Amino acid sequence: MRSTFRISLVVVLALMGTSAFAHHSRAMFDQTKQVALVGTVKEFQWTNPHCWIQVLVPDSSNPSAEPVEWGVEMGAPVEMMRKGWKPGSLNPGEKVTIVVNPLRDGQHGGLVVSVTGPDGRIIGRPAETPR
Amino acid sequence: MMANVIRRIAVRRVPWAIAVTLIAGCLFPAAGQTSSKERIKAFAKLPDWSGIWELDAFVGQADGQQFSAEGQRRLKEYAAALRPSFTSEYKAKYDEIRKKVEAAIAADPDHPPVTHEPLCAPPPFPATSTPGMYQWRVTPEETTFISTVGAVRYIYTDGRSHPPKDELWPTLMGDSIGHWEGDTLVVDTIGTRKRLYMGELSGFFVPTSDQLHFTERIRMVNHDQMQIDYTVEDPVALTKPIHAVIVHVRVTDFNRMVEETDCEQNERDPVVNGRFTTVVK
């Protein structure tokens, strides 16, 4: 695990982002940070290759300002369904709290870590729950 | 008038001709074919690999689609087992690729470079170690591997050989022939494309030559576990064969195959100038 191979493994895992994302790396997300987005669902995209949530997040320091739209990425529909999600798990207008690993480039986007729905419960199975 | 006569004769004769052909086909199967009874017997000797399967490292993924701690441990084990021992020529090639990748990452860590070909295309051979679920279709003449991420492999078990060299060209899955040793399917594969071996378990950028040769021994260890023993040989690129045992497990929380590669539906991580970007709106 040391020497050249250590480097290759690090590169490989960095490129993979140690994720099961089939078609792209997760290295664009800062996995050392977590941001909680408290807002309203604008759109839930149950789509390939990945599901997305568009969420409108008000600026708590300036309530009169326009809310900021974030686009946050999830797994593929099949992966999400296996985690307990369904195509109708979220609907426009619902209040949610979404914890994400933010994009490293500063755009308003991120990788979803968890979503708390309007009923106050986390949607889907908690992280690392054996299936 | 003459045309009508010919038509009447044809109408009367054709059903007889079809019937005679069908009966003859049943009584005297063509060379290389087996009768239905023989084929049913051949089926009965084959193992039952039905169900849906996936790589064991994918079990227990976190919500953020990360591998679980156990999954990461398994991946590291696999990567260690798959560690290539390059010849000096291919070590130099590997180092060159690695330096380019590292330099590209360092230049813009926010937008990782694309270093592997599959993206949304089917993953390359062996395709069993990529995300997604898969199934096996076992018949006496052929075993077919079908995955939700678009990979299909055809493993011929009808006694044929690989095609001659002048009829073989590099393809995503190469050419696979196999035979049964008890309940173990032994698969021999050549003709895969270069730099794609073992997909993400060992790195997308491992250089190999056109002499790359795989042997797989595939068997069910128990009802819920399959094991694939890989031997990877490349006398030009590797100083010694690679041997790894990869474990696959039965999927129990989902009971249907759903195609997952339709990236055009909503591609929001497009590649721009060789790097991944993200469209947030």
Domain ranges of chain B: 2-33, 53-276
Assigned domain for A127 exists = no
Give the minimum alpha-carbon distance from B211 to chain A in angstroms, rounded to a whole number.
23
Q: What is the dihedral of CA B140, B146, B151, B152, to 10 degrees?
A: 20
Q: Residue A90's domain spans which residues?
A: 3-116
The confidence score (pLDDT) of residue A62 equals: 87
Reduce the DSSP state of residue A100 to 3 states and report it. Answer: strand
Report which of residues A118 and B79 the model is more confident about: A118
Quick check: pTM over 0.90?
no
Distances (CA, A) of B245 to A12, B75, B122: 20, 12, 23
ipTM strictly over 0.95? no
Assigned domain for A129 exists = no
Assigned domain for A130 exists = no
A 18-37 near B (Cβ less than 8 A): 18-28
User: What is the chain A residue with the closest CA to B74?
Assistant: A18
Task: Tell whether omega for the bond before A49 is within 30 degrees of 0, i.e. cis.
Answer: yes
Task: Give CA B81 to chain center in angstroms.
Answer: 20
Q: Which chain B residues have a beta carbon less than 8 Å from that of A1? A: 76, 80
The confidence score (pLDDT) of residue B101 equals: 82
Per the structure block, which two tokens stand in for A8? 């290759």
* Contact (CB, 8 A) for B132 and B243: no
d(CA A97, CA A95): 7
Name residue A36's beta-bridge partners: A99
Give the minimum alpha-carbon distance from B18 to chain A in angstroms, rounded to a whole number.
48
d(CA B212, CA B235): 8
Across the interface, do B111 and A114 touch by the CB < 8 Å criterion?
no
Residue A10 has pLDDT above 50, yes or no: no
Nearest to B262 among A7, A48, A108 (CB): A48
CATH of the domain at A108: 2.40.50.140
Closest CA to A50 of B131, B268, B134, B200: B268
Per-residue pLDDT of chain B (281 residues; tens, 9 = 90+): 455 555 555 545 545 555 555 455 444 445 456 689 999 999 999 999 999 999 998 877 655 456 778 888 888 888 888 888 999 999 998 888 888 888 888 898 888 887 665 567 788 888 887 778 999 999 999 999 999 988 899 999 999 999 999 999 999 899 999 999 999 999 999 998 865 545 445 555 678 888 999 999 999 999 999 999 999 999 999 999 999 999 999 999 899 999 888 888 998 888 888 888 889 98
At residue A126, φ and ψ (nearest 5 deg) are: -60, 160
Q: DSSP class of residue A19?
A: B
Residue A30 has pLDDT above 50, yes or no: yes
Q: A51: exposed, middle or buried (C-beta count within 10 Å: 0-12, 13-18, 19+)?
A: buried
Across the interface, do B64 and A111 touch by the CB < 8 Å criterion?
yes
Q: Which residues contact B21 (CB under 8 A, 6 or more apart)?
A: none
